[in-house]
Structure 1
């Protein structure tokens, strides 16, 4: 082991080489910093050391500078090189010393206290998980829906919202936020219509990972909305809003029931089961299924099928919770269908949105998780068996 002469050292950079940071590119960050030091002949003034985990894995890759006491989150090469010149953008600073006090960047999570007190009553947290959308309006609808639902939730419960993808916070951040606020139990409730890959694999993977990080926290898992009588009432409400009377016979009307689409055979079977249950409650000769992606029949094929069967009026009925890119695409499809099939009356009904019966179902799923009767716990067990048999690379 070399012994360096550090008498001229002015700054010491500690570069995290823990497992999480290494997986996020810490080796490249290390080389970029050292290359920049050499290129500017600063070897004697700036010393670098690799370290093990520094306890800020969410901010990967982490670099600490002493004697300033600044912690950096390095996710781009320009940030790594800027550290050498003390010109790092504020958004990449985790902690900075100001007037002798350590200040956390506004965009940085607080993190978990290393030695949390365990005295006193336990706090329970309910973490609702939305899918997330590239369209921010859809994410905001989820947040507002949960805000409205809070009015019917015991105020002693912590309630947070997170997303699978496309929006913040993600599930990992959501769990950490619950624990930061003192939760000893976290009940994860998916805001997802059908039981498929997201609810079978992706969310359980996040929960299992959290169990490893926080072994003293109790986690439970709720079930998806699934097949539920209240869902049928929501669909009938949306049909009524476009002038469809469920108590009347509609001999020349077809309903085109449109789902997101999934490669999961169980999810597709459940979708067709819901269609059958709905057909029993609406007096139409034609109720066709279609999917906007992943599987068939497509929406175009479903529309053509309705027309072939003789429908003079077609109602497109979305099986979607909130707005999003796919919902906007469906609206554009409806406008194009009106142009392509001028002899047919075409309407599009609304998605679930803020329907009060959606809150009823979600609260039921929450209470099942809280009282231990949710089938979601079996999903966690099924996921563990799946990993044992096939392995699992969690990239969602």
Structure 2
């Protein structure tokens, strides 16, 4: 069967994540070619796309020159096992399977946040700062248990956890660390790419810096498209 992979992100009105997704797809192809293999890689969005995900999957398969021999792996580029990963994407994949030929194998791979190698990438991001206190801020989810993986990562990296969409907030955690006497605090956004939310996190950080001028708040960059991240995606494709 002809191998193919569809990298699924949330989707955004901000163009930057889409550009980064295309860059990551190219890096994955380069990684595959470096080991002497070939694969077709494309991207799709769960939300904020004119077509629902299952229609994007169907179109991708039917536009393939070898659609009757294709083996498609769908990789969710999500960091937390929230509703999108556990419910929405499996539902969309099931709809695509129903609409396509039985000869076409569609496999739903583990989500990106389940890869243990992410912790090493985050450690490298923290290493770019000089702060002794650390905050790892993720999007968050109201699905029970979805925060557990990032809480574990935070603990392993010596960081406290904050969330954008659910408590505790970045502001609360910054103030807690300041009250404990910390004068240098690193803030790492647990997000794949720069976008609207990371911009908002930067704005909150700037306001907190003005509020606490004697404290050095060091905001790191999100993960970003890199060869290291492409390696992790390739690992998930091969599972």
Instruction: Compute the TM-score of the two structures, normalised by the length of structure 2.
Output: 0.90
1:219 alignment counterpart: 106
Aligned partner of residue 266 in structure 1, secondary structure: coil
Contact 1:125/1:186 (<8 A) preserved: yes
1:157 is the counterpart of 2:39: yes
In structure 1, what is the Cα distance between the partners aligned to 2:140 and 2:209?
A: 23
In structure 2, what is the Cα distance between the partners aligned to 1:164 and 1:291?
A: 21
Kindly provide the CA deviation profile for residues 180-208 of structure 1, in whole angstroms up to 9, marking residues without a partner as x: 21233221111111222111111111111
**Cα distance change, pair 209–227 in 1 and its aligned pair in 2 (3 A):** closer
2:23 alignment counterpart: 144
Q: CA RMSD in A?
A: 1.8
Contact 1:190/1:224 (<8 A) preserved: yes
Contact 1:175/1:186 (<8 A) preserved: no
Contact 2:9/2:44 (<8 A) preserved: yes
Kindly provide the CA deviation profile for residues 133-162 of structure 1, in whole angstroms up to 9, marking residues without a partner as x: 121111111111111221112554222111
1:196 alignment counterpart: 82
Residue 270 (structure 1) shift:
1.2
Contact 1:256/1:315 (<8 A) preserved: yes
In structure 2, what is the Cα distance between the partners aligned to 1:304 and 1:201?
A: 35
Aligned partner of residue 153 in structure 1, secondary structure: helix
1:326 is the counterpart of 2:197: yes
1:232 is the counterpart of 2:119: yes
Residue 316 (structure 1) shift:
0.8
Aligned partner of residue 346 in structure 1, secondary structure: strand
In structure 1, what is the Cα distance between the partners aligned to 2:61 and 2:51?
A: 12
Kindly provide the CA deviation profile for residues 196-231 of structure 1, in whole angstroms up to 9, marking residues without a partner as x: 211111111111111111142211110012344421
**Cα distance change, pair 159–341 in 1 and its aligned pair in 2 (3 A):** same
1:166 alignment counterpart: 48
In structure 2, what is the Cα distance between the partners aligned to 1:324 and 1:136?
A: 8
Residue 175 (structure 1) shift:
3.4
1:364 is the counterpart of 2:232: no
Alignment of 1:32-51 (within 5 A): none
Kindly provide the CA deviation profile for residues 55-102 of structure 1, in whole angstroms up to 9, marking residues without a partner as x: xxxxxxxxxxxxxxxxxxxxxxxxxxxxxxxxxxxxxxxxxxxxxxxx
1:343 is the counterpart of 2:214: yes
2:142 alignment counterpart: 263
Residue 275 (structure 1) shift:
1.0
Contact 1:130/1:191 (<8 A) preserved: yes
Kindly provide the CA deviation profile for residues 330-362 of structure 1, in whole angstroms up to 9, marking residues without a partner as x: 111111111011111111011100233221211
**Cα distance change, pair 235–144 in 1 and its aligned pair in 2 (3 A):** same
The higher-RCO structure (CA 8 Å, 6+ apart) is 2
1:176 alignment counterpart: 59
Aligned partner of residue 98 in structure 2, secondary structure: helix
In structure 2, what is the Cα distance between the partners aligned to 1:207 and 1:229?
A: 25
Kindly tell me the number of residue pairs found equivalent between the two proteins. Answer: 231
Instruction: Compute the TM-score of the two structures, normalised by the length of structure 1.
Output: 0.55
**Cα distance change, pair 170–149 in 1 and its aligned pair in 2 (3 A):** farther
